[in-house]
Amino acid sequence: MTLAEPVNTDLTTEAGLEAEMLEVGRRARAAAATLAMAPTAAKDKALLAAAQAIRDSTAAILEANAADVADATAKGQRASLVDRLILTPDRLEDVAAGLETIAALPDPIGSVLAEWTRPNGLKFERRRTPLGVIGIIFESRPNVTADAGGLCLKSGNAAILRGGSESFRSSTAIVDCLHQGLHATGLPEDAIQAVPTRDRAAVGHMLRMPDFIDVIVPRGGKSLIERVQTEARMPVFAHLEGLCHVYVDAGADPEKAVAIAVNAKMRRTSVCGAAETLLIDRAIAPTLLPRIASALQDAGCTLRGDDAARAVYQDMQVATDADWTTEYLDAILSIAVVDGVPGAIDHINRNGSHHTDSIVTENADAAERFLNEVDSAIVLHNASTQYADGAEFGMGAEIGISTGRMHARGPVGTEQLTSFKYVVRGTGQTRP
């Protein structure tokens, strides 16, 4: 497999960029057909070879990353963006190990999901297949380049990766390593392509290529997701924000309530599974809220409460309506008093993002009602919302957490990146 020659286009013109993106799509489509039939051993060998290439190229990747970081710093980018952008030898080792983890996962492709025989003798089989070409649009986190490319490869899909423009050099260096892995195995390098320009207009072209991209996975801020959902001409695995709730029921064990509330908010505040709102049952608020609130403050959390919450614990800011729909991703928590399980369900279904919500209670009936009626991808009983993570589910790795109800819901790992087909075997049957 030789590297295809780049199209002779000027990417600074609109027409040139469009032609180049269509060419990227055509190559991805061709690679996907090969990849769909690739044996497990070839895919795994490519993943292991890519991991080794990343280790062997550490110096070159870190050099590319240093240039990205210098540019981002010079442009005055936010500290949190620069922090996500920075690669270190340790972070790069995690990237390589992540590819090895993906190689060790079972291959979803070809597995039989169901089989049955009809009275007329026809044997039916529902068999996993790849989706085809997956377009992934993500923020400036170079490690996502390897995770997303690796998950697509393992699940037999071609990937078109469009990372944040600030990480362009770092992502390109990592994609080079993925190509070395593919090359070493005889798989098409076009199976994993990075968009060859920093130009944000490339995103618009991706969204208008339904013939070449079967599904778009957007990761990033609210405005990106909304733009993708509005403009995309193909299905979207939406990753909305994580407006996660912990509801402390009157039947809660106080120790568990304190531990889960503090962990759900403060273990890591920047992850999508971090709690943003604490709901507490009116019946227990006077006795339990002060204890939970002071534990959160001891852990460094700022609190914003509604009137009823502030009536039983005065040392908190005033929550406004906007607080119920704000993903802080910071050490801030909004607190509302609700009327039992029905009040909690109503608050969550009205204000949440259908991501991850937890109830703390020893009352089995209350727990079942909450688990049934809260309309979220992940609902938990007596456990922290921070378990919203593909690895914690046992999926090995994930591209993100889908908040949509279509196709993939919750953590998106290799199985969620597949479709299926019906294979029907007969002995000459014709339909009467």
Give the nearest distance from C-beta 234 to its own copies in angstroms: 9
**Residue 11: phi, psi to the nearest 5?**
-70, -10
Cβ-based neighbours of 323, under 8 Å, separated by 6 or more? 277, 304, 334
Given the rule CB under 8 A, which of 118-126, 217-225, 290-298, 318-326 is the region that contacts its own copies?
118-126
From residue 368 to residue 387, the character string flagging contacts with its own copies as x (rule: CB under 8 A) and all else as - is ---xxx-xxxxxxxxxx-xx
Strand pairing class (133-137; 215-218): parallel
Q: Evaluate the CA torsion angle 30, 36, 38, 43 in order and state its sign.
A: positive
From residue 189 to residue 218, the character string flagging contacts with its own copies as x (rule: CB under 8 A) and all else as - is ---------------------x---xx---
Q: Evaluate the CA torsion angle 373, 374, 376, 381 in order and state its sign.
A: negative
Based on CB atoms, which residue is closest to its own copies, 175 or 360?
Answer: 360
Of 314, 241, 323, 240, which is closest to residue 279 (Cα–Cα)? 323
Q: Is 410 in the site for its own copies (CB under 8 A)?
A: yes
Of 252, 278, 255, 250, which is closest to residue 266 (Cα–Cα)? 278
**Residue 192: phi, psi to the nearest 5?**
-130, 110
From residue 73 to residue 112, the character string flagging contacts with its own copies as x (rule: CB under 8 A) and all else as - is ----------------------------------------
Give the nearest distance from C-beta 90 to its own copies in angstroms: 19
Give the nearest distance from C-beta 153 to its own copies in angstroms: 18
Is residue 334 helix, strand or coil?
strand
Based on CB atoms, which residue is closest to its own copies, 97 or 424?
Answer: 424
Given the rule CB under 8 A, which of 65-73, 129-137, 166-174, 281-289 is the region that contacts its own copies?
129-137
Instruction: Give the one residue of 220, 235, 254, 290 binding its own copies; rule: CB under 8 A.
Output: 235
Distance CA 216, CA 417 (A): 11
Q: Is 131 in the site for its own copies (CB under 8 A)?
A: yes
User: Tokens 């260096």 — which residue?
Assistant: 173
Q: Is 136 in the site for its own copies (CB under 8 A)?
A: no
Give the nearest distance from C-beta 383 to its own copies in angstroms: 3
Instruction: Give the one residue of 36, 66, 81, 224 binding its own copies; rule: CB under 8 A.
Output: 36
